[in-house]
Structure 1
Amino acid sequence: MMEPQGGDDGGLRVMMMEPQGDDDGGLKPFTPFRLIKYNVEEDEPQRDQRGLCIKVQPGETGLLVVKITQNTPFHGYARDSEKTEKKILRDVLVRGDSYFNSGDLLWIDHERFIYFQDCVGDTFRWKGENMATTEVEAALAMVDFIQEVNVYGVAVPGCEGKCGMAAICLRPGTTFQGEKLFAFTQEMLPGYAAPRFIRIQDALEITGTFKQLKAKLVREGFDPKAISDPLFFRHDSQKSYVPLDSDLHQAILDMKFNL
């Protein structure tokens, strides 16, 4: 089980009571969970030569997974078997086992305390809310000048979690309209879900299985000095998405805006 503890960093600090052996041993009354290595680039757990997942060591970040047993069942999502299957990892530590994929990356220190780090895949955490990127993408896709959209979270110094950002492609013959997009997001999305940053691209990068790539975009962030694509910032007082230049970028880093 996990017991909340006080942490100087203001984040979640919990005592880890993970089974120490290959079975649950004396911890059977508790929920058996593990932290396993996760490849953020490929958006999947790392596996060894046997095809099994790899447990993390102190000082490493791993994906939180919970073993599915009779005592800790996972009933899945009603009338959505495909979504249910995506949350189950199989052959995790031994052939034939199954674990629930929490979607959370946690970091474990050498005293076996763990800290929340990030959400993986199609979710990220901002202002205490888990954001489903697909839901925000579906909303933004309704804007008449947006042809394609890829939503992800980026780190902002001084802020906990990841702030929403969207890479978009414009429909042929259209232009970006900052005031219109601001009004749309204000009406259609909760404040915490409206992307703070917009990046306009000629084409969105996808994998061989047509899945949008997010990891590279997350790493590149929103620095106009490092990104040649047009960038925009959701400016509350101007009620518009305004061009993000170096001065505005520095003001954001200096925490002059309440994100």
Structure 2
Amino acid sequence: MLSVSNVSKTFVLHNQSGAKLPVLTKSSFSVDKGECVVLLGRSGSGKSTLLRALYANYLVDEGHIWVRHNGVSHVRDSDAISDTTNTCDVRRNRCEHQATWVDIANAQPREVLEVRQNSLGWVSQFLRVIPRISALDVVAQPLIEQGVDKKQAKQKAAALLTRLNVPEPLWSLAPATFSGGEQQRVNIARGFIVDSPILLLDEPTASLDEKNCQVVIELIQEAKQRGAAIVGIFHDEFVRQSVADKYYDISTATLRKA
């Protein structure tokens, strides 16, 4: 579902005479259907940088990030993972297949948007939405963008908000007025409303109490059961142990079973 091959990333500090800060070096691992890989490493080791690179928020210096995608094919399914270290230019390799792989690290912007809409879900630490949009509409929006009926989308949004213990009187209000924990629960509901084949989770339980952490664990386990491939960062050891199938240590670039 997701294959990372020799990904490296260096930040250039322009306000410090162009000093270079290597963050990722030759990171390589893969994630299968129904599997959760948890990223490990000390603070500042590059966990969030790698996760943002998987979502194409950051460009990488080198390497490939192959995402299995249910849209227009850029590389044949049989070819993509047989050699993830090749220099294939996805912009020149087009063919029509249902089972496809896109190198999101080297894809064009419109291809990145297509992959995000159809194959790649994301839950960040912070909720960023347009002001004055109600919490219910914020959560329902990704489903509506996929063509789902508005009423049906809002029903699913309401169910998720209920499950995540967001009080119903808040649903009609803009999340900008909420507490940090309430905003995070809205963010989680938005991230899980679409059954994305691949989910990227950046500390989704950081602002949550024990009760709501357990709800998030259940949502992750249910996503795994339906076949989602998940990569996540979790500050809580109990959450890590509850959801991880494998651990990828950023500092040593090693993958091991949980």
Higher-RCO chain (CA-CA 8 Å, sequence separation at least 6): 2
TM-score (norm 2): 0.25
Query: Whose Rg is larger?
Result: 1
